[in-house]
Structure 1
């Protein structure tokens, strides 16, 4: 991720609709998990998700995070987290075995995603569960992906296949951010034409009223995902178990 964009990312990640709604989805998914579970957040950024896990009863000493960014881990430590490390997500060298692993918008940053998934699977306890979110559909590729230093975007099937290669059992698979897919697709195609050879910039949609509206929309999607799977979306995710 480019330095200036990372700075903006850290400024908005606590309150921005995208990050808040995804954290709420994960917190809801984990609310009934035993509170003594050992949890790893891959690509933990400033550690906001780990702090929120602690706030609902998970033991701080059993919450771990890794990030490739030294600034992100510095922010984590400033936020009171201790088990956080600067580390390459393709080669996590922690000795612990985890009950839960979360990787939100991380896999697409890694050149060798197969190697990364194998490494993550090795870190899971038998019976452990992994939650993986990634950007969806190569047709949505834009300057936003380039600024974020993505290698690829995924279909739901592609993400499932890479997890199943490691003998993980898929518990749930769906797209996410379904309602915004078509407007975002149109916006990115128009932007690609208009931007031409201009300097590539990432897009963070913000503004107070926009933030409220989009947050409510994604919270509605989170609720609907308890009953349905969406056929397309801006992101896709898998929840998989090691047996």
Structure 2
């Protein structure tokens, strides 16, 4: 992502409604996993998710993170995650194999996503699980994607197809952030018409009241996702098993 936006990202990632609610969803999914699981967070940023796993009782020595950003990895180490490394997610060269691999909003940054998935498959132990989140629907493409240096957005079928092509099996797939799809779609289309070439920054909501409201909305969606799969949303994800 662009340098100015990365700085803003690191400033808000702990409390921002989007990042916080997705971490909460993943933490709920992993809560009952064996606490000696070896876990890799691809695109780990400042290591906030890994620290949350540590608080759940997962062993620090078994928590790993990689990120292409030297600043992110410096933050990660400063936050107490020693196994954090600057690496390209298309060619992770760790000698370890992992019980759990998490990649939240990472795959869309990679030019060759199939190469990346193949690499991730090799890093996953037999019986291990991979949790992959990506932005959904090319129709939602906006300046936000440009600032984030995305190559693409995905449909759920596209993501599933690419994971299945590496002999992974899908245990759950859905869209995420269902409720806000329509307003975000309208906003981005109108921004593209009326604010073309004017809005050079990514879209990060910093209003504290709105941040709390949106966080609570997505917590509700997270609970609903235990029972249903959403037909569309701003993101999409798959849980895949080797």
Shared fold, TM over 0.5: yes
Q: Residue 235 of structure 2 aligns with which residue?
A: 235
Q: Residue 31 of structure 2 aligns with which residue?
A: 31
Q: Take 1:134 and 1:146, find their aligned partners in 2: how far apart are those partners?
A: 15
Q: How many residues align?
A: 242
Runs of 5+ unmatched residues, structure 1: none
TM-score, normalised to structure 2, is 0.99
Runs of 5+ unmatched residues, structure 2: none
Alpha-carbon offset, residue 198 of structure 1: 2.7
Alpha-carbon offset, residue 80 of structure 1: 1.0
Q: Residue 162 of structure 1 aligns with which residue?
A: 162
SS at structure 2 position matched to 1:95: coil
Q: Take 2:196 and 2:149, find their aligned partners in 1: how far apart are those partners?
A: 19
Q: Residue 201 of structure 2 aligns with which residue?
A: 201
The equivalences for 1:107-146 within 5 A come to: 107-146=107-146
The equivalences for 1:85-124 within 5 A come to: 85-124=85-124
Q: Take 1:16 and 1:48, find their aligned partners in 2: how far apart are those partners?
A: 12
Deviations 1:6-60 (A, max 9, x none): 0000000000000000000000000110000000000000000000000010000
RMSD (Å) for aligned C-alpha atoms = 0.6
Q: Take 2:197 and 2:207, find their aligned partners in 1: how far apart are those partners?
A: 27
TM-score, normalised to structure 1, is 0.99
Cα distance change on mapping 1:190 and 1:199 into 2, 3 Å: closer
The equivalences for 1:32-111 within 5 A come to: 32-111=32-111
Q: Take 1:80 and 1:240, find their aligned partners in 2: how far apart are those partners?
A: 29
Q: Take 1:29 and 1:65, find their aligned partners in 2: how far apart are those partners?
A: 19
Q: Take 1:145 and 1:135, find their aligned partners in 2: how far apart are those partners?
A: 9
Q: Take 1:53 and 1:194, find their aligned partners in 2: how far apart are those partners?
A: 43
Q: Residue 12 of structure 1 aligns with which residue?
A: 12
SS at structure 2 position matched to 1:233: coil
Q: Take 1:194 and 1:157, find their aligned partners in 2: how far apart are those partners?
A: 32
Alpha-carbon offset, residue 194 of structure 1: 1.1
